[in-house]
């Protein structure tokens, strides 16, 4: 687990063992020690983190309701007496001690607040959680990737969310995804856009860190725009590579590129 800081708040990033490289986050107000927990996977390290810093959990917020993102909800809530917040479309998918948060709502913890931005695509109930300079993106945006569509996802919705909500965030916004898939995602990025020097450099950096057992530092929206193929559906090189890989593919629109990238990534090792 690692700790990062912002102005008036701290961020704990906790990677669960025995998971699909899941990240859970603890975000707290440094003045009052009130905190929120985002997507608790393994509750034990989350509760240890909270206890070690003397934090008080006000809310657990789930970016979406896939089992690995809500796994720690009940144990965390039981111990801390907070509340679980989900998008209305996720109500009923989590335990009864929950309430709903909608697009545009802000959740206060101490003197800090986090804003909800509705982001369907990976699942219908997916939300982004935003602070100035920070975006907790769940399974919508990863380092050099986006969420899959295998369990309730809709390609058109994800394309819309990426194109209008994610791409519109300021370039300096740090990205806090729900999983670490960085290495595989960057190998895919280099495969579909071999001329992208930023993707190659980032892959080399991430591989070097991984060899030392370290996770990548959080990236920014501006960095993602340089090498994340799913934010680069306008790249002529990507379109050319996709046509080479699948001669039957017709292309012809940014959405066609986006959905072909998603299809290829699903079957890509």
What separation in angstroms does the CA of 103 have from each of 127, 135, 214? Answer: 8, 14, 35
Nearer to Zn ion, 139 or 223 (CB): 139
Whether 180 and 186 have beta carbons less than 8 Å apart is answered as no
Most distant CA pair in the chain, distance: 59
CA distance 49 to 263: 38
Among positions 165-194, residues that touch Zn ion (CB under 5 A) are none
Which segment (18-26, 61-69, 127-135, 190-198) binds Zn ion by CB under 5 A? 61-69
Nearer to Zn ion, 34 or 125 (CB): 125
Nearer to Zn ion, 129 or 242 (CB): 129
Nearest distance in Å: CB 215, Zn ion: 19
Among positions 145-164, residues that touch Zn ion (CB under 5 A) are none
- 167's tokens: 């791409």
Nearer to Zn ion, 58 or 69 (CB): 69
Phi then psi dihedrals of residue 114, to 5 deg: -125, 140
Nearest distance in Å: CB 36, Zn ion: 19
C-alpha closest to that of 169 among 121, 217, 123, 225: 225
CA distance 96 to 114: 23
89 exposure class (CB count in 10 Å sphere: 0-12, 13-18, 19+): middle
Which segment (26-34, 72-80, 132-140, 198-206) binds Zn ion by CB under 5 A? 132-140
Nearest distance in Å: CB 151, Zn ion: 7
Count residues binding Zn ion (CB under 5 A). Answer: 2
Nearest distance in Å: CB 139, Zn ion: 4
Which segment (48-56, 64-72, 203-211, 256-264) binds Zn ion by CB under 5 A? 64-72
CA distance 99 to 234: 39
Nearest distance in Å: CB 239, Zn ion: 28
Which segment (55-63, 80-88, 134-142, 215-223) binds Zn ion by CB under 5 A? 134-142
Nearer to Zn ion, 10 or 145 (CB): 145
Nearer to Zn ion, 50 or 70 (CB): 70
Nearer to Zn ion, 134 or 139 (CB): 139
CA distance 34 to 57: 6
Nearest distance in Å: CB 24, Zn ion: 13
66 sits near Zn ion (criterion: CB under 5 A): yes
String marking each residue 14-43 x if it binds Zn ion according to CB under 5 A: ------------------------------
Interface with Zn ion by CB under 5 A: which residues? 66, 139
């Amino acid at each position: 687990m690692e700790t990062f800081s912002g102005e008036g708040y701290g961020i704990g990033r906790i990677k669960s063992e025995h998971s699909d490289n899941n990240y859970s986050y603890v975000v707290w107000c440094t003045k009052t020690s009130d905190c929120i927990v985002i997507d608790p996977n393994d509750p034990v390290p989350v509760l240890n983190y909270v206890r070690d810093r003397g934090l008080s959990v006000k809310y657990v917020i789930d970016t979406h309701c896939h089992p690995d993102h809500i796994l720690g909800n009940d144990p965390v809530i039981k111990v801390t007496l907070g509340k679980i917040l989900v998008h209305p479309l996720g109500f009923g998918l989590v335990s009864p001690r929950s309430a709903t948060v909608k697009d545009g709502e802000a959740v206060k913890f101490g003197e800090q607040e986090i804003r909800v931005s509705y982001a369907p695509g990976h699942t219908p109930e997916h939300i982004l959680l935003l602070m100035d300079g920070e975006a907790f993106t769940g399974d919508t945006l990863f380092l050099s990737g986006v969420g899959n569509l295998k369990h309730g996802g809709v390609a058109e919705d994800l394309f819309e969310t990426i194109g209008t909500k994610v791409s519109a965030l300021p370039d300096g916004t740090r990205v806090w995804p729900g999983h670490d898939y960085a290495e595989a995602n960057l190998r895919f990025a280099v495969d579909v856009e071999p001329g992208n020097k930023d993707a190659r450099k980032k892959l080399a950096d991430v591989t070097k860190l991984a060899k030392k057992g370290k996770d990548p530092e959080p990236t920014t929206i501006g960095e993602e725009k340089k090498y994340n193929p799913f934010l680069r559906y306008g790249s002529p090189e990507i379109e050319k590579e996709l046509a080479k890989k699948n001669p039957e593919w017709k292309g012809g629109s940014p959405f066609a590129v986006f959905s072909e990238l998603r299809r290829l990534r699903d079957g890509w090792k």
